[in-house]
Structure 1
Amino acid sequence: MSYRTILGILHRQGSASGLLDYALPFVARHEAHLIGLHARALPITAASPLGMPIIDPGLMHPEDDGELRELFERRAKAEGVLHEWRSYETVAGDAAISGIESARSCDLVMAAQNDPDADAQEKSDLEALLFETGRPVLLVPHGMKPAKTAAPKRIMLAWNGSRQATRAAFDALPLMREAQNVEVLVLDTMDTLRQDASMAGTAIAEALSRHRIDVTVRTEESAGRSQYQAMNDCVAESGADLLVMGAFARGRISEMIFGGLTHDMLRNMTVPTLMAH
């Protein structure tokens, strides 16, 4: 298994350069084909209090399409990457929503984390990519300045035995084969009828090791911290430069209302994070 077709979601000018810094060396390493995708918001006409038509300037980005395309193509050519450009015009101007259909024909989707402090209209619906595409999504933290060398050396796999975690683990195999070590992290283990807590993570570690991957298992307790805080602490302690995890085991609406690990990690990731649902 390898990544041959990769979709890059280029939502806004401000985040595009950082995403390309990470994505282009990644694509070059895997000798893949990169699709750059952007959606431009259509101007929305409304009526003023005096009945005059007005256009909401906050929903207009007329410069984005041409500038983003030029940036994407110039940098892809410089990197020697096979590439193509796709552009859409929609009311919302959300590249993540516009990219759902394209993503279903790709091995991997790459996107930049939303700026947690940005206005809602400036954010992209990354959850839709996870929920609607059936493809793994690799997110690059907002403001990250990645090294041009690129390949992850240490990967942390967040493991809870769920379908989502299983999907993420095997979707990340090409990356794990590049890494020097993969650490399986099991948080807050419990004895169940099917598994002793002390054995949690061992079966997936053994399966990954058969792919000639150097794997270790680590068990930790949240100990009063939120799960995302505990996970980020473990990432920092291990020196991992990529996190792999399942997404929305509780469901998207449930997490939006009550909170959950996926929702928290989308806002608080500290390293590039591959998620799968």
Structure 2
Amino acid sequence: MTYRTIAVILQGEQESSRVLDCAVSLATRTGAHLVGVHAEVLPVPYTSAVGFPDTDFIQVSTELNKETTLKLRGIFHERAEDSGVSFEWRTLESFSGDGSISGLSSIRSADLVIAAQRDVESEDGTDVESLVYDSGRPILMVPQSGAVLSSYRRVLLAWNGSKEAARATFDALPFLIDAEQTDILIIDPSHTAEEGPDAAGARIAASLSRHGVNVSVSVQESGSQSVEALIQERLAAIGADLLVLGAYSHSWLRELLFGGVTRSILRSSPVTVLISR
């Protein structure tokens, strides 16, 4: 099993080099077809003081947006051609200017989608949260800083026995097989599985072992700590360079109002994240 079609979301010039570092390297190693996806912003039709459409503003906005598109397209083509991978470019148009929203038809036909972690302070970049919840595909999120990798030595797999966790685990299987070690982290097992704490993780560990994955299982009680804090601590303790987890929430409305583990991890993870739902 490997990834044969990889979609890469390119929103702005600043994040594109990091995303392409990961995507081009992975496509080169796996022989995958690379699809560049960019959404060009449609200008909002502002009106002038006398009530007529501000055609000058619309024209300037359109030209700037096209300039950005051409620049990103040129960067993508250059990187892909230099690497020798099979590739194509798809330009979309939307008022949001976010390829994660307007590019779903392209994204849903890919084995894997690669996007940049969103800038928390400015809210610029790809809306990874919407991408995770609407695309139906595994998302590989490249962190804002640190090393950009396309193969991973040490993987932390957050396992809670849910269907989302199962989906993410097997979506990540090519990475898990290649990794030196995969650490399965189970938090509060009595609350997340239909088996006793002593046997927590045994079934998924055995299943992954049959694929040749080198696995270990660690079980922790959260106590007064948050799940996010425990995951972050474990990432640092084992020196993980990839986190795999399922995007789980009881309610989308609840996530919007109160946040949650999924949202926190997407916004604060210091390492690459593979997440599915």
Please confirm whether the aligned pair reaches a TM-score higher than 0.5, indicating the same fold.
yes
Task: Give the deviation of 1:224 after TM superposition.
Answer: 2.6
Which of residues 121, 133, 136 in structure 1 aligns to 2:135?
133
Mapped to 2, the partners of 1:193 and 1:49 lie a distance apart of: 62
SS of equivalent to 1:43: coil
Task: Give the deviation of 1:49 after TM superposition.
Answer: 4.2
Task: Give the deviation of 1:58 after TM superposition.
Answer: 8.0
SS of equivalent to 1:233: helix
The corresponding residue for 2:113 is 109
Mapped to 2, the partners of 1:194 and 1:224 lie a distance apart of: 23
Mapped to 2, the partners of 1:102 and 1:192 lie a distance apart of: 35
Tell me, yes or no, if structure 1 residue 196 matches structure 2 residue 212: no
What is the percent sequence identity of the aligned residues?
40
Tell me, yes or no, if structure 1 residue 84 matches structure 2 residue 88: yes
SS of equivalent to 1:124: coil
Tell me, yes or no, if structure 1 residue 217 matches structure 2 residue 217: yes
Greater per-residue helix proportion: 2
What is the identity, as a one-letter code, of the residue corresponding to 2:245? M
The corresponding residue for 1:247 is 247
Task: Give the deviation of 1:208 after TM superposition.
Answer: 0.3
The farther-off stretch of 177-186 and 222-231 is 222-231
Mapped to 2, the partners of 1:37 and 1:225 lie a distance apart of: 39
Task: Give the deviation of 1:27 after TM superposition.
Answer: 1.3
Task: Give the deviation of 1:192 after TM superposition.
Answer: 7.7
Which of residues 135, 140, 146 in structure 1 aligns to 2:148?
146
Deviation sequence 1:81-112 (CA, Å, 0-9, x none): 11110001111111111221112111111100
How does the TM-score come out when normalised to structure 1? 0.92
Task: Give the deviation of 1:50 after TM superposition.
Answer: 4.6
Tell me, yes or no, if structure 1 residue 228 matches structure 2 residue 228: yes
With over 3 angstroms needed to count, the CA separation of the structure-2 counterparts of 1:117 and 1:192, relative to structure 1, is closer
Task: Give the deviation of 1:259 after TM superposition.
Answer: 1.8
Which of residues 68, 73, 78 in structure 1 aligns to 2:72?
68
Deviation sequence 1:210-232 (CA, Å, 0-9, x none): 10111000112334332112101
What is the identity, as a one-letter code, of the residue corresponding to 1:125? D
Provide the aligned length of Structure 1 versus Structure 2.
273
What is the identity, as a one-letter code, of the residue corresponding to 2:214? D
Deviation sequence 1:215-267 (CA, Å, 0-9, x none): 00011233433211210110111111101000033233221112211011111
Task: Give the deviation of 1:167 after TM superposition.
Answer: 0.2
With over 3 angstroms needed to count, the CA separation of the structure-2 counterparts of 1:251 and 1:192, relative to structure 1, is closer
The corresponding residue for 1:206 is 206
In structure 1, stretches of 5+ residues that fail to align are: none
Mapped to 1, the partners of 2:235 and 2:116 lie a distance apart of: 19
Mapped to 2, the partners of 1:14 and 1:62 lie a distance apart of: 17
Mapped to 1, the partners of 2:193 and 2:138 lie a distance apart of: 31
Contact 1:18 1:145 in 2 (8 A): no
Q: Give the ranges of 4+ consecutive aligned residues of structure 1 lying more than 3 Å apart after TM superposition.
A: 48-60
Task: Give the deviation of 1:193 after TM superposition.
Answer: 8.5
Task: Give the deviation of 1:125 after TM superposition.
Answer: 2.4
The corresponding residue for 2:45 is 45
SS of equivalent to 1:182: strand
What is the identity, as a one-letter code, of the residue corresponding to 2:208? L
The corresponding residue for 1:11 is 11
The corresponding residue for 2:102 is 98
SS of equivalent to 1:275: strand
Task: Give the deviation of 1:80 after TM superposition.
Answer: 1.7
Mapped to 1, the partners of 2:192 and 2:76 lie a distance apart of: 50
Mapped to 1, the partners of 2:157 and 2:221 lie a distance apart of: 16
The corresponding residue for 2:265 is 265
Deviation sequence 1:173-200 (CA, Å, 0-9, x none): 1111111111100112226893102211
Tell me, yes or no, if structure 1 residue 237 matches structure 2 residue 237: yes
Q: What's the Cα RMSD here?
A: 2.0
In structure 2, stretches of 5+ residues that fail to align are: none
SS of equivalent to 1:235: helix
